[in-house]
Structure 1
Amino acid sequence: MFELSPVDADPRGLREAFACFPSGVVAVCAMIDGSPVGMAASSFTSVSLAPPLVSFCAQTASATWPRLRTRPRLGISVLAEAHDSACVSLSRKTGDRFTDVDWEATESGAVIVHGATAWLECYLHSEVPAGDHSIVLLQIRGMETTPGVAPLIFHGSRFRRLVALSRSA
């Protein structure tokens, strides 16, 4: 009989289990007091077509999310495979997160990262407390895509790239 390990107080085993699931990475950004503010999130997912909703999870201990949640518009950039250093920069705890990140603000104050595979301009729809995170639901107001650009993948606590499998005849 197959036995599962219990989940205990040490989070390492649970982190290892979560790391088995690959995810894309997004930048969540906006202008605040004339400067770009942003964070990286690997918990992004589509939620609904009608209304158009996406979600990501923000740590309750985050110092960045409380600042971003007050903005009327947020830019979501689905990071491309060439954005590994931008992702690291946007994840910093200190310093200028936008050093070496090529970005632009929209008229409404959303910030997008150049070279992404998709960009969404959103506003906060709702938040749901969930343990040490909040599930953030965003409603999409505008979008652009570059589907030929491959996304950045986070798996096994490392950045990875997709490899297309050839179709068998």
Structure 2
Amino acid sequence: MTIILLAGIVFTIILLTKQREFASAGIVTNISDKLQRSSLSKNYLFAGAALFAANAALFAIAFVILFFIPYGSTFGLLLCIPLSLITWLVFSEIWSGSLKDKIKMAGIGNSFFLFFIGWIMWYYTTLEPAYPGDDLFMAWIGAVIAVIGSLGAMSVSTFVLLKNSS
């Protein structure tokens, strides 16, 4: 499992360093060209709401893969990381407004991760032991890993969205 996690991190770093080449790939270009004429390219509220919905959908896909497909963590890691990066690249490429509005769009869209972190904290603080003497240490470790993962996804998303802004 550790090897798969490290492979996912290395794969993410490779995709981030090759972001410009990846953005000119066929699928990103086709989607970007179709969405360029929509209101997502200039209105930060619509683009931020669409990015919020995309982040929620990506999280839902990862959740379903992780918990409902056997060996889903391996498959989910190999599928969801590139899918997330492609989605964020598309939103970065279609934007034609100002940098200030692009930062607002990224803030609105990535607030999904902040809501998720808030839910994790609420869930952990209201968690009660299943029986007297039950140790909640493993639940705490899970909460810490979920917060670190969410902060990582939020920072990578922000980096991808704002990297090549002018």
**TM norm structure 1:** 0.20
Structure number having the greater helix percentage:
2
Structure number having the greater strand percentage:
1
More relative contact order, 1 or 2 (CA 8 Å, 6+ apart):
2
**Greater C-alpha Rg:** 2
